Copies of this chain bind each other. A is one copy, B any other.
């Protein structure tokens, strides 16, 4: 908990949801200290939010441009920049930050087009900078256990993946009630091509890729807008073809009344199957061919090192969403520290989702939208 690293936040001012999640996740492990910010899109609200968060005056910036230019020339410049603005501004800000030489952490989905993500990736890679995209569900210890078991061949060749992400909170036209979180998500200008697909479908797509290591080749998608007046999908179903012959079914929906944050994944291979659900994240059920289901749990016996290092407290003492999120930031801190020292990242760093994963996510959305429009299979 020795805060040697420092960070700046762009976006995430008062009233924002995800900015606070990032700050708490960083604070939980003391991965870094927040010392600078341009917290809103208007100068006044930026300064007001900075004051509320207790930022030093000289590092409370009025715009991201000001932040990047002034931090660039400080000797104690921040180690990394966290970008939690609305989706539509991710690309220019991330680009500017990377070009200014900062490591970047970017909320997902990374950008509006996959080309933009590809471009960011190229800049980051050319400059040996971190550009992490917060696919936070990959931070759950038992998801990392699942990944390790599959990579280790314990399920054999993977045949089929079922991944779903079902919520119910957009079952009515909440966007017309003044709910800010709903409003931007259903607005193509701010959200991009995908509604539920972009907001949560990309988490599901990424989770399947992270757990199985499979590469998506093509999709056949159906997109629905059930709530009258919606322009973007609030429900998506996708049949997926992976390289090597594995198949997948992904469903993402925000009209499932009764579902809170129902992300789950089930993977079946020739030698075994596994099942995990985000609302009960500390457990992973694994069944080998001709055997009985075994329940692995965070902090319990028989875990892979990837799961062990992603856990803080003993078995049966629940960790949750913030802890999983915080595992990404431990990886960020670890990676930056190792880079500085000229060393290779440790396992926490290896597991970090990057802008390349973000690119895959945006490409997935693009392909699904095209498939749904044309009524046919579309290659990625």
Residues of A within 8 A of B (CB): 1-4, 17, 20-21, 23-24, 27-30, 34, 52-54, 159-160, 162, 164, 167-169, 171-172, 220, 222, 224, 226, 235, 237, 239, 247, 249, 251, 253, 255-262, 266, 268-275, 278-282, 285-297, 299-302, 312-323, 375-377
Contact = CB atoms under 8 A, between A and B. Distances in A.
Given A29-B24, A226-B159, A376-B376, A272 B289 contact: no
A322 B321 contact: no
A340 to B, nearest CB: 17
Contact of A2 (B52, B271, B290, B322): B52
A124 B162 CA distance: 41
A296 B300 contact: no
B226 A260 contact: no
A354 to B, nearest CB: 23
B260 A316 contact: yes
A224 B247 contact: yes
B293 A272 contact: no
A17 B314 CA distance: 10
Contact of A320 (B34, B249, B318): B318
Contacts of A288: 257
Given A1-B27, A260-B315, A260-B317, 4 more contacts: A1-B34, A24-B312, A159-B235, A237-B249
A257 B272 contact: yes
A375 B319 CA distance: 41
B292 A301 contact: yes
A285 B285 CA distance: 13
B268 A255 contact: yes
